[in-house]
Structure 1
Amino acid sequence: MAEYTIGIIMNGVTGRMGTNQHLIRSILAIRNQGGVKLASGDVLMPDPILVGRQEHKLQALAKTHGIARWSTNLDECLADERDQIYFDSQMTSFRVDSIRKAIAAGKHIYCEKPTAANLEESLELARLAKDAGVKNGVVQDKLFLPGLLKLKRLIDAGFFGHILAVRMEFGYWVFEGDWQPGQRPSWNYRKEDGGGIIVDMFAHWRYVIDHLFGKIRSVSCLGATHIPQRWDENGKSYASTADDAAYATFELEGGIVVQANSSWAVRVNREDLLTIQVDGTEGSAVAGLRDCKVQHRVNTCKPVWNPDIPNPFNFRELWSEVPDNQLFDNAFKIQWEMFLKHVHEDQPFPWDLLEGAKGTQLSELALLSWQKRCWLDVPELEL
């Protein structure tokens, strides 16, 4: 058995998600398990170098986790031949220029979404990567959440019969930052810095809906800025210029209707921060991040509208849990392992920069739909 080392430039991992999901729970977890086992029986070991703009944060992060390499000079890192992969989880506004440089340097590209602030730049990155012949991928982590994997299992088994409609509820109350610190960075609420829940979340909804239920053919969206003033990380007040909620309807190929509510200004009265209810002719399911419950047509109760008597049903007791039937690993780590195998031994990896551009396309159309107060078609994207 041979062990191969693969260098990874990790740019922008000093942020919360970059540190926790991509560094600690993915790359370091892979190293701690002894690398990625390949089809040949050999092992691929990731060797990260942390890159960013703030030296003190990089140095502290590297020291905490025993990482030997870190740098504030991206150009020098891109010139180093031992690093084959460039990973980007910076703020969206910094991402495009860095990925352009990485492609020009011949690095394989793996990045967070949205891949760019607009569709034109997202498509440009996809074309540049294709023309350069570098492998490329976009993080689409929610596909590997246990709840959604169980939902996909039900769909593949034909549990729903003909799927009629889908209802997605996402969000939680993000504190304004005055009397309690906010749980999200302040730039999320400034449009000029690339913030907004439509730009942030519709990239997710695109790949979730496409993968599970079918291609999106049209969209109608209403956005809102419910909280007009927030306080940043230094306790300074600022005006919220980006949307913090969005109420969208999607029409899919085949006639399925998807309603998706997304909000950072909602208090949670459901079983998870994200719930997806699927209703079909044969049965229904409600999936969260980890769990999934079902109700078949033979177990469906027969309520009759009568507001003059107490409700005779405990509706939630009539749903059954879908068993795990497998061990579920971290969603980000699963996709990292797949991309590393894609780079090293050409294993399939369908979630490329063109797929990432589809998310940006949907965000742009949703924002335009809100502006024009109308339905918009979602055209096919090609390079």
Structure 2
Amino acid sequence: MGIQLLGVAMNGVTGRMGYRQHLTRSVLAIREAGGVPLPDGDRIIPEPILVGRSETKLRDIARQHGIERWSTDLDTVLSDDTVQIYFDAQITSAREDAVRAAISAGKHVYTEKPVAATLDAALELAKLARDAGVRNGVVQDKVFLPGLLKLRRLVDSGFFGRILSIRGEFGYWVFEGDWQQAQRPSWNYRAEDGGGIVLDMFPHWHYVLEHLFGPVRAVTARAVTHVPRRWDERGRPYAATADDAAYAIFELDGGVIAQINSSWSVRVDREELVEFQVDGTEGSAVAGLTGCRIQHRALTPRAVWDPDTATSDDHRGRWQQVPDNGEFINGFRAQWERFLRHVHTGEPFPHDLLSGARGLQLAEAALQSSRSGRRVELEEVELA
């Protein structure tokens, strides 16, 4: 068995997402498992090189996990021939320049989304990567989660018949930060720093809809700021200039309609923080992060509207759980493994920078729709 080492520069691992999901639960977990197996019996083992602005934080993380290499100098890391991949989990406003530098240095690129602040910038990055001949990918973790993998299984099996509609509910209450600490960083609520729920979540909804149900062709949206005043990490009040909730209708190929509510100003009354209900002529399903429930046409009860009589029906109790039928690993790790195989073997990887650009296109179209009060159609996004 041969070992194929890939040096991975990981920028942004001092943040919550970069550290928990990408470093410890993905790259280090892959190393601890002996690497990513290849068809010929070889294994790919990623060698992380930590990059960031805080020398103290990087040193502490490296010491805790036995990582030998770290640096606060991105240019020096990118000039290192032992580094083949650049990964970015920084704040959105810092990502574009770093990804551009990595492409210029000839590194394969894997990045969190949104890949840039604007669609034009995202398309430029995709063009630069294509012209440089570097492999590239965007984190699109939701489609690797157990609940949506089960939903994918239902779609592929034809369970729904003709799909009619999708309804999504996402969100939870993010504390303002005065009497209880906020669960999200303050920059998320400042538009000038790249914050906003549309920019953060609509790229997610785009790839979920695109990969499971079909391309998004038009959007009608309303983005709002329900909580205009919040408190930052130092306890100082600030004006929330970014949207913290958005309500949207997406039109897909084939006449499928998707409605998704996204909010950081909502209290949860559902089984999971995000749920998608899919209704079709032959059956329906409700999928979350881990679970998926179904109701087939033949088992659908006959509901009768009678507002004068209290109902005793247990509507949720009539749904059936979709079995796991296998083991599911962490969704971020699953996509990391696919990207590492893509870099080493050229295995197809549809979650590229162009796909990330299409997600950003949807976010921009939704914000345009919110400002104008109009339905906005999406044109095909292609590289010149």
Calculate the TM-score normalised by the size of structure 1: 0.99
Alpha-carbon distance in structure 2 between the residues aligned to 1:297 and 1:99: 48
Q: What is the SS of the residue equivalent to 2:325?
A: coil
Give the equivalent residue in structure 1 for 2:358.
358
Alpha-carbon distance in structure 2 between the residues aligned to 1:175 and 1:316: 30
Q: Amino acid of the residue matched to residue 232 of structure 1?
A: D
Give the equivalent residue in structure 1 for 2:181.
181
Q: Amino acid of the residue matched to residue 327 of structure 1?
A: E
Q: Amino acid of the residue matched to residue 43 of structure 1?
A: R
Give the equivalent residue in structure 2 for 1:206.
206
Deviation at 1:74, TM superposition (A): 0.3
Q: Amino acid of the residue matched to residue 241 of structure 2?
A: T
Q: Amino acid of the residue matched to residue 375 of structure 2?
A: W
Alpha-carbon distance in structure 2 between the residues aligned to 1:95 and 1:271: 34
Deviation at 1:187, TM superposition (A): 0.3
Identity %: 62
Give the equivalent residue in structure 2 for 1:298.
298
Give the equivalent residue in structure 2 for 1:194.
194
Moved more, 131-140 or 60-69: 60-69
Give the equivalent residue in structure 1 for 2:218.
218
Give the equivalent residue in structure 1 for 2:316.
316
Q: What is the SS of the residue equivalent to 2:279?
A: strand
Give the equivalent residue in structure 1 for 2:168.
168
- For residues 120-162 of structure 1, the C-alpha deviation after alignment (integer angstroms, 9 at most, x for no partner) is 1000000000000001011100010000000010011111111
Give the equivalent residue in structure 1 for 2:280.
280
Alpha-carbon distance in structure 2 between the residues aligned to 1:338 and 1:165: 30
Alpha-carbon distance in structure 1 between the residues aligned to 2:161 and 2:5: 47
Q: What is the SS of the residue equivalent to 2:284?
A: strand
Q: Does 1:58 align with 2:52?
A: no
Deviation at 1:345, TM superposition (A): 1.4
Q: Does 1:6 align with 2:6?
A: yes
- For residues 212-263 of structure 1, the C-alpha deviation after alignment (integer angstroms, 9 at most, x for no partner) is 1111110000011000111111111111000000000001110000000000
Alpha-carbon distance in structure 1 between the residues aligned to 2:78 and 2:206: 31
Q: What is the SS of the residue equivalent to 1:326?
A: coil
Deviation at 1:362, TM superposition (A): 0.5
Give the equivalent residue in structure 1 for 2:32.
32
Deviation at 1:348, TM superposition (A): 1.2
Alpha-carbon distance in structure 2 between the residues aligned to 1:359 and 1:311: 42
Q: What is the SS of the residue equivalent to 1:254?
A: helix
Structure 2, unmatched stretches of 5+, are none
Deviation at 1:312, TM superposition (A): 2.9
Give the equivalent residue in structure 1 for 2:370.
370
Alpha-carbon distance in structure 2 between the residues aligned to 1:320 and 1:289: 17
Deviation at 1:62, TM superposition (A): 1.0
Deviation at 1:55, TM superposition (A): 0.9
Q: Amino acid of the residue matched to residue 238 of structure 2?
A: Y
Give the equivalent residue in structure 2 for 1:154.
154
- For residues 270-294 of structure 1, the C-alpha deviation after alignment (integer angstroms, 9 at most, x for no partner) is 0100000000111100001000000
Alpha-carbon distance in structure 2 between the residues aligned to 1:205 and 1:67: 35
Alpha-carbon distance in structure 1 between the residues aligned to 2:182 and 2:61: 22
Give the length in aligned residue pairs. 383
Q: What is the SS of the residue equivalent to 2:277?
A: strand
Alpha-carbon distance in structure 2 between the residues aligned to 1:174 and 1:309: 38
Deviation at 1:168, TM superposition (A): 0.4
Alpha-carbon distance in structure 2 between the residues aligned to 1:375 and 1:228: 26
Q: What is the SS of the residue equivalent to 1:222?
A: strand
Alpha-carbon distance in structure 1 between the residues aligned to 2:46 and 2:213: 34
Q: What is the SS of the residue equivalent to 1:20?
A: helix
Q: Which runs of 4+ in 1 moved over 4 A?
A: none
Deviation at 1:347, TM superposition (A): 1.2
Calculate the TM-score normalised by the size of structure 2: 0.99
Q: Amino acid of the residue matched to residue 36 of structure 2?
A: V
Q: Does 1:250 align with 2:247?
A: no
Q: What is the SS of the residue equivalent to 1:230?
A: strand
Over aligned residues, Cα RMSD in angstroms?
Answer: 0.6
Deviation at 1:47, TM superposition (A): 0.5
Q: How does 1:122-133 map to 2 (within 5 A)?
A: 122-133=122-133
Alpha-carbon distance in structure 1 between the residues aligned to 2:4 and 2:283: 48
Q: Does 1:44 align with 2:44?
A: yes
Moved more, 181-190 or 54-63: 54-63
Structure 1, unmatched stretches of 5+, are none
Q: What is the SS of the residue equivalent to 2:334?
A: helix
Q: Amino acid of the residue matched to residue 204 of structure 2?
A: H
Q: Amino acid of the residue matched to residue 31 of structure 2?
A: R
Alpha-carbon distance in structure 2 between the residues aligned to 1:158 and 1:3: 41
Deviation at 1:306, TM superposition (A): 1.1
Q: What is the SS of the residue equivalent to 2:313?
A: coil
Give the equivalent residue in structure 1 for 2:100.
100
Give the equivalent residue in structure 2 for 1:342.
342
Give the equivalent residue in structure 2 for 1:289.
289
Alpha-carbon distance in structure 1 between the residues aligned to 2:378 and 2:258: 14
- For residues 36-87 of structure 1, the C-alpha deviation after alignment (integer angstroms, 9 at most, x for no partner) is 1111101111100000111111111111111111100000000000000000
Q: Amino acid of the residue matched to residue 229 of structure 1?
A: R
Q: What is the SS of the residue equivalent to 2:255?
A: coil
Deviation at 1:110, TM superposition (A): 0.4
Q: What is the SS of the residue equivalent to 2:238?
A: strand
